[in-house]
Structure 1
Amino acid sequence: MPKVSVSSLPLSDQILIQKSRLFVEASQLESQAQNKGKGKKRGKGRRGRDNVKTGQGGTLDPLADGVLVVGVGKGTKRLNEFLDCSKEYQTTCLLGCETDSYDSEGARVRTAPWHHVTRASVESALEKFRGEIMQTPPIFSALKMDGMALYDYARKGIPLPRPIEQRKVTIHSLELIDWKGSDHPYRWPEKQFTQEEKAALEKSLSSVDDQATVHVEDESDPEPAEGEVPMAFVLKMRVSGGTYVRSIVHDLAHSLGSAGHVVTLTRTRQKNWVLGEPTEDGDRRCIPWEVIEKSLKDEGERDEEGWAEWERKVIDIIDVVEGTNDNP
């Protein structure tokens, strides 16, 4: 399963792409080799490493893994198709604790009772989150307002220019696929929301809500008894572009009279690219991230046509954009 959790195309992918005849003309590769032999550094010009344009079709949260669509050359012009397309996710919700980022990467903001939550109550609550819903993106997100990411407003204590706008999203399907109960390895984050962080967040919210306050857990908030593990469950969903899975988990936990945050998140589909075996007409398999990691250490022997293992796997699945280059 690929593990990609950065906001731009991984440098490792760029390194492989820039030296592969799949994407770079043979004459240019030869020129690069000659320059390297003469000790010349490649710049960012016409013959530099940045000659091949690369990009990706939609970021993943820091803790997330799964499908990441990569565009190379003229293929980057099609990446917008993968921003607004439907996507599938599997996510694990851990009850009883809310964080500033709505996931386990953040700090504890609030804890709440969870013992009363049952599988039946979760399945019943899911109904209100299916179909077209209005959703407010979390302030700790990369969504930009006037050119600045929302999380920068929150962390730096900069007042928001206006309220975060709700957006209409479509939850095509949403189901509970695994009730883990307390049989799992997940625990609440150790990190606490500090008074300084609380003050910064309240300041960023003050311009749009002069009554804004941030509840930081105190001694009266419920803590698990010694040896007790809060309940967790796994959701599977297909959603429209722009949907925040973290917000669904956060809002669902609230509707259950509890608190909750995301502890695992895997994107299993992005348009027609899928993890594992295809299940629908037109589905295409992804290259496992382990193939890329292995090739960075050692590309291994090339086949009779001169292709490395990772290049052959790309050839098997690549979607060629007309006129990108003359190579396969």
Structure 2
Amino acid sequence: MPKITVPPLPVSCLFGMIKPSGPTSMSLLNDMQPLLSKSRLFEQPPLEAPKRKKKRSKKVGDVKVGQGGTLDPLADGILVLGVGKGTKKLTEFLDCTKEYSTTCLLGCETDSYDSEGARVRIAPWKHVTKEKVVEALNKFKGEIKQTPPIFSALKMDGKPLYEYARNGIPLPRPIEPRTVTVHSLELVEWKGSDHSFSWPEKALNEDQKKAMEAAIRGVDKTATIEDDPESTVQDEVKPTAFVIKMKVSGGTYVRSLVHDLARALGSAGHVVTLTRSRQGRFVLSSTEDGDRTCVPWSVFEKALTDPGAADEDGWTEWEREVLQHLEVI
């Protein structure tokens, strides 16, 4: 194996991990914790925690690790991690420039704005063409106002928005729009009906729809959630799907952008794939000076079941990978 440069040990650092679609970001960090805590790469905490910290959930002996902005379970791509003092640097990745590619499936809105949620409304989609999508994208470039989805963890008066929607509690005030910047936005693939995606089978029942309407009507008296009658007819043709790529400021809701774009097209839509390809300087593939590539989750997953033999310097495969990608703090 080629020699690797080892900084003075132990290290505090940042590095990027490539998250797969499916698990939550936090579950992966919890799975990684034993590996990080047993490695001589990182500073080992004292065996006995100070009394003032005894109520904290972090186990005694665990290395301190955190993430710089979570990804939804559906999403894959870059997740920036901080270890030790590196956790203090993670806030800079909340507001940094990010790049995403996402697939929109037309004809159906969901409560979560993605395929993990339940059907809320269906609408016509056959009138949407590639040319209309390209034209509509121009409305979402530059500095725009975005309203976070009501089925999100964003809190209002201490209560997550999704609790208002699920329980039919009127919102005490409108969801405050946020200003975000879309630096670039382009259509990169027109799938049409040539894909394997489908609308979620799960749907809101009438009581759930009424609860959601009640929550929204706290700020919009005319809010309704109704299917378009023409769209309720079963169709053998798969709804249109297309892929867009974007470079955006921190705080941008990709799901909201796709939802709003579909409505601007006179349809409905939701996210079925989402990949974060850049988070600040951490990237899937390097395109600029200073870019840092990341460690695939599969490296850690393998190490959890079979860490393998250490090399002549005492490093296992996963430790070598981290050493090649880390940024010392």
- Please give the TM-score of this superposition, normalised by the length of structure 2: 0.86
CA distance change for structure 1 residues 264 and 48 in 2, over 3 Å: closer, same or farther?
A: closer
What residue in structure 2 maps to residue 40 of structure 1?
A: none
Identity of aligned residues (%): 63
1:6 matched to 2:15: no
What residue in structure 1 maps to residue 268 of structure 2?
A: 259
SS at match of 2:181: strand
1:167 matched to 2:178: yes
Residue 23 of structure 1: how far off its partner (Å): 1.4
Match for 2:81 among 56, 70, 90? 70
1:188 matched to 2:199: yes
CA distance change for structure 1 residues 183 and 53 in 2, over 3 Å: closer, same or farther?
A: same
Match for 2:257 among 248, 255, 270? 248
State how far apart, in whole Å, the 2-side matches of 1:50 and 1:242 are: 34
Residue 192 of structure 1: how far off its partner (Å): 1.2
Q: Is the 8 A contact 1:55 1:70 kept in 2?
A: yes
State how far apart, in whole Å, the 2-side matches of 1:44 and 1:309 are: 35
CA distance change for structure 1 residues 94 and 223 in 2, over 3 Å: closer, same or farther?
A: farther
1:99 matched to 2:100: no
SS at match of 2:105: strand
Residue 44 of structure 1: how far off its partner (Å): 7.8
- Deviations 1:128-159 (CA, angstroms, capped at 9, x unpaired): 11000111111111222233322222223333
Residue 164 of structure 1: how far off its partner (Å): 0.4
Q: Is the 8 A contact 2:74 2:274 kept in 1?
A: yes
Q: What are the within-5 Å matches in structure 2 for residues 1-328 of structure 1? A: 1-3=18-20, 5-6=23-24, 8=26, 10-25=29-44, 48-49=59-60, 51-215=62-226, 217=227, 220-226=230-236, 228-275=237-284, 277-321=285-329
Letter in 1 for 2:269: G
State how far apart, in whole Å, the 1-side matches of 2:228 and 2:185 are: 34
Q: Is the 8 A contact 1:100 1:107 kept in 2?
A: yes
- Deviations 1:227-283 (CA, angstroms, capped at 9, x unpaired): x111110000000001011111111111111111110001111001011x3110110
Letter in 1 for 2:279: Q
State how far apart, in whole Å, the 2-side matches of 1:159 and 1:128 are: 30
- Deviations 1:48-73 (CA, angstroms, capped at 9, x unpaired): 54542211011112211111001111
Q: Is the 8 A contact 1:113 1:222 kept in 2?
A: no
State how far apart, in whole Å, the 2-side matches of 1:16 and 1:157 are: 44
SS at match of 1:284: coil
Q: Is the 8 A contact 1:18 1:49 kept in 2?
A: no
Letter in 1 for 2:253: Y
How much is the aligned-residue C-alpha RMSD, in angstroms?
A: 2.3
Residue 179 of structure 1: how far off its partner (Å): 0.5
Count of aligned pairs between the two proteins: 305
Q: Is the 8 A contact 1:2 1:287 kept in 2?
A: no
State how far apart, in whole Å, the 2-side matches of 1:10 and 1:158 are: 34
State how far apart, in whole Å, the 1-side matches of 2:105 and 2:152 are: 20
State how far apart, in whole Å, the 1-side matches of 2:25 and 2:154 are: 12
State how far apart, in whole Å, the 2-side matches of 1:23 and 1:57 are: 19
Letter in 2 for 1:320: V
Q: Is the 8 A contact 2:43 2:84 kept in 1?
A: no
State how far apart, in whole Å, the 1-side matches of 2:264 and 2:229 are: 24
SS at match of 1:77: helix
What residue in structure 1 maps to residue 51 of structure 2?
A: none
Structure 2 residue runs without a partner (length 5+): 1-17, 49-53
Residue 7 of structure 1: how far off its partner (Å): 5.2
CA distance change for structure 1 residues 111 and 154 in 2, over 3 Å: closer, same or farther?
A: same
Q: Which moved more, 1:54-63 or 1:146-155?
A: 146-155
